[in-house]
Amino acid sequence: MSEESLDAGDATGSDAGDDRSDPSEATPERPPITGLLETLSVKRNALVGVGVGVALAVTVYLVRALELLGPAAGTREYPILGPEGFFLLLAVVLASATALFVASMLTLVAAIRAIRQVSAE
């Protein structure tokens, strides 16, 4: 490299910030996330959501697959899995979507309560 290119590097300041300190020292200390998760009762909400989702999915599966409300109007063919397998897959999707929805709503309610409690103090 020529002297001109070295001088140009110094003039642009590329070597000016040659501070090689630990980057973790420059970032502020963050509070642990566990306090937030406990305040919002995320673990309890997830368990309640899974319970509600599984209960709903099992109920709907039994009603549909065992034809508890009578046979479905019209006939269909379910080529690979058959009707039981098809409805089992739908039940898994229903259970997971319901669990996510219920857990999210419970966590949202807990967050609103925590915000109101903090603002009331």
What rounded mean pLDDT belongs to the chain?
81
Q: How many helices (H) and strands (E) does the chain have?
A: 5, 0
* pLDDT of 15 strictly over 90: no
| Tokens linked to 93 | 């999707």
Quick: pLDDT tens for 28-68.
677 778 888 888 899 999 999 999 999 999 999 998 878 77
* pLDDT of 26 strictly over 70: no
- Tell me what pLDDT residue 3 has: 53
**What global pTM score does this model have?**
0.66
Contact 95, 54 (CB under 8 A): yes
- pLDDT above 70: percentage of residues in the chain: 74
Full 3-state SS string of 51-96: HHHHHHHHHHHHHHHCCCCCCCCCCCCCCCCHHHHHHHHHHHHHHH
Comparing 24-28, 55-59, 109-113, which segment has the lowest mean pLDDT? Answer: 24-28
